Structure 1
Amino acid sequence: MLCGCGLLQKTILVRRWVGRVSGNAGRAMAKSKFEYVRQFEADDTCLQNCWIVVRLDGRNFHKFAEQHYFTKPNDDRALQLMNRCAQSVMLELEDITIAYGQSDEYSFVFNKKSNWFKRRASKFMTHVVSQFATSYVFYWKDYFSDQPLLYPPGFDGRVILYPSNQNLRDYLSWRQADCHINNLYNTVFWALALQGGLTKVQAQERLRGTLSADKNEILFSEFNINYNNEPLMYRKGTVLVWQKVNEIATKQINLSEGSEDKEVKRTRSEVTLLHCDIIGQQFWKEHPEILADDN
């Protein structure tokens, strides 16, 4: 008959033996004959020292906007919701230095030196799109309190690499120029349709072949709308950047005769929304940290 100590020692030895057997079984499973299927996975590692841009777009959002009664040509609630989702992406994911959004699209720029998920393009794209899409559903009620979400929206994504700072700036300039072109057209189109009494087909025909100056003239002469006075968010889109913010916090300090509260100054970074021009030089002079080599 074993004493208490002997029984305990025997139990420990048995547990160690079982652990070794289980561990060996686990390793055997990891090296099973089926593991060859991993060779079918594509190597989607992004090139080093390149800016990684993930751009997402709403899937079939024209239909989605109609079924949820978005205001034309711009729905402030929808744009604010897109911005809130973009903030969520920047706060949750690592190494995003700047983001730019307009209409139903958003571009997220990852640091060129980022090694997040070993720079796998599929990881960048799926994390951004899934975080954005779930945020859209989660925050919907905060912006559309009177309009129930009829079905979850869909977003597609793509990954683009830009090797130089100028390439990246040209990309962002292209998206902002696209914002201006589309918004000017939509502003005139819906003015003709909603205020001018034209059908959608007639409005399209009226605008066929017109230049920016022609569209501005139609807005001003027929509807007394100065396009330059339209909200910057509509004309320029939205830029998200990290900015340092100074704040004062209260800290409790223990003393020999008790404790007291003391104000402490500290600096933290937060995501800031801007509606401004990013094509010219001024923005980049004010935010040199975005393109800095040691970012």
Structure 2
Amino acid sequence: MIALERLNQQFADGKHIAFVKIGELILAKIDTSVARAMVAVQGAQVVEWQPAHEDLPVVWRANDPLYETGKSIRGGVPICWPWFGDHPTLTLAHGFVRTRDWQLMHVHTAPDHTVSLHWRITDSPDTLALWPHTFELDAIMHIGSDLRIQLVTHNTGPEPFSITQGLHTYLKVGDARSIVIRGLEATYYLDKLKGYARDYQDDMITIHGAVDRIYFGTNHAVEIEDGELDRLIQIDKEGSYSTVVWNPDDRVPSGMRPEESKDMVCVEAVNAADDTVSVAPDESRILGTRISTRRLT
């Protein structure tokens, strides 16, 4: 409990910010007049986010997720870095930072009650054994009436390196089969469920089964129109030229029940597949997302 006590002594304010332990993990609990959220120290992972103007969460998590050391929590916004998806030789999918503890550097509450958290992770002997580069990786999140996350990669080594990465955002919807996803029309995508076959999206996206696609040339906002919940979710992006759309239907991964897939969809700001990011020595690169909502009627 030493880490929990230290975090509460250093950053809790007695009103809106506290640190709690759930299962094996420590989480920051945010509760202000504008939003409620939970963020895990492991992975600097936003687990929940619900702005005050919404009756239901906007960031989705599984009903009964596991809070276990070394395992990403099913839902929220896992940070995938320094590779997105499968590694060509390692069994470790989506990189290694989502299953390691990050250091909380700073907490700030703005006059509008938005809470900002600044997390950091750096290379270690363990990470160098997996990926032979030195780095400093920051996750800067602003939790308020909207949710903003910036992932900042800094190359602290003498050689350039390349990464793929993602903010693997799970979003709560009323019924995945009734939503409409706009903003990815007239773009090409790779279909993971068809052996990464290349195809063309000529219209808005509707979901009628399992979907797992990477859309390219998409650095603009994407919208989810959700008639069941009478809301529109807007996903803005920064430093991202590819977008993942994922719903597993009944092919659910561990930590999720088959019936839960109808309540969620992932629309993710990523750099994936051919959209790689090169980072020169002493250079920084940013991947960002902003999630906001408004009523349809």
Q: Given the two structures, how large is their TM-score scaled by the length of structure 2?
A: 0.27
Greater RCO (CA < 8 Å, at least 6 residues apart): 1
Higher normalized helix content (fraction of residues): 1
Higher normalized strand content (fraction of residues): 2
